[in-house]
Chains A and B, each alone.
Chain A
């Protein structure tokens, strides 16, 4: 019971953290540097990956859904909710499956890259449905490259955070 309350509290904090990280990105959009729609650092994926690895998929999925819904309510619109939910859930699924299937062989880096790239794929899929046009997929090569880079960057932070929590000690 006690453990449950603690987990719920951490999840609440993590959701808030995700929103703050998302807001920081919203204030300093990467699109100013690289004009590509949908490109972003994906800072909140740090919190989500930490959550997935420490509390498991159920909590991670919950926070992903909450974070997408709340950030759409706060900063975005219905369409941005559809995009970020598709991207977020697809990314989470990729990271979860990779952890389960190849957990012993991969590190947070590989998992994070897969999550970042699949996040972009999900967003583009949502965009192509929304715009009734597959033309947006011509952005995929650049977004996949960008996802690889941002995935590695966030993985570096995630690795440090997990080390501090003692994840690698038990």
Chain B
């Protein structure tokens, strides 16, 4: 009897200790790690199976890019360019290349996407009003005046010098900087031998590889009418960038109308069409950011046509809660929300 008692006591002790060790003990090496950096007006999160060193490098990279590309930092390349009037400013080779890429997107979209809408952005100050400022509308004169200072054609980049040919202009790479940062971060992760990672820049995501157990990473497409944690459907992805543009990110409301942070460069007004949001899946982050913005500006019909012509994978959510998808990357999309109708 004594033996049974001793054995039971020992067993109990072992169980108790094992449970405690499991709770308080250190994690096994090579576990999933996550790092977050606050930069580019948002947060950048990397979840990867890698060393802390790689995560730190990604953090530094994003902070550096932010320091070079931020419009709100006076000493950044873009800050100096915007302050230079028509004198032009010398920028880093990387910034020059990105400006050229951005100008190519502007031209490709026929001006629907325009990196020089900053005067309109400032005039409307949607971000400020969304954050609690008093919602007021600018007068049509003010809008017309700002429009005079908008036009990507008046920005030229030669070598490493960028120059406006019209006074009072400003450029903002915010529209593609996040995607670009994602591209660079993914390059860095790959160079460090990371084969599986989830990189989030704000609400845009680059999916690198598969989960270590061989299953695909699954991304939810945000419900434009719900909280940030709610999604309308799911999509498995591998080695792709996914990003959305919509009228729910930053906006203010006045007299029942909603004014969002994406501008129609032709009217000078916030975009207001049949779309709530556009989500695109691309290989390149910068291109993904450009496409989601441009497609959102176009409205459903024109956007779907553009996707078909140019072989773009996109998902559209309309104001009347219909969901449309185009392209191969959305074939595996599953609608999970009962509030929306899937049209195909």
Contacts and interface: CB of A to CB of B under 8 A. Distances in A.
Contacts of A145: 12, 15-16, 19
A148 B12 contact: yes
B107 interface: no
B298 to A, nearest CB: 49
Contacts of A47: none
B9 interface: yes
A64 to B, nearest CB: 26
A149 B5 contact: no
B24 A35 contact: yes
B16 A149 contact: yes
A141 interface: yes
B interface, over-half SS: helix
B19 A149 contact: no
Contacts, number: 22
A109 B19 contact: no
A145 B16 CA distance: 6
A16 B50 CA distance: 59
Interface string B1-43: 0000100010011011001100010000000000000000000
Contact of A146 (B9, B16, B24): B16
Contacts of A34: 16, 20
A35 B12 CA distance: 17
The residue among B12, B19, B24 with the most chain A CB atoms within 10 A of its own CB is B12
A109 B13 CA distance: 16
B12 A149 contact: yes
Contact of B19 (A142, A148, A152): A142
B13 A142 contact: no
B19 A141 contact: yes
B13 A149 contact: yes
Interface string A138-151: 00011001101100
Contacts of A36: 20
Nearest to B19: A142
Interface string A34-49: 1110000000000000
A149 B8 CA distance: 10
B20 to A, nearest CB: 6
A169 to B, nearest CB: 21
B5 A109 contact: yes
Interface in A63-101: none
Given A141-B19, A148-B12, A149-B16, 7 more contacts: A109-B5, A142-B16, A145-B12, A145-B16, A145-B19, A149-B13, A152-B12
Which 7 A-B pairs give the minimum distances between C-beta atoms? A145-B16, A148-B12, A149-B12, A142-B19, A145-B15, A34-B20, A152-B9
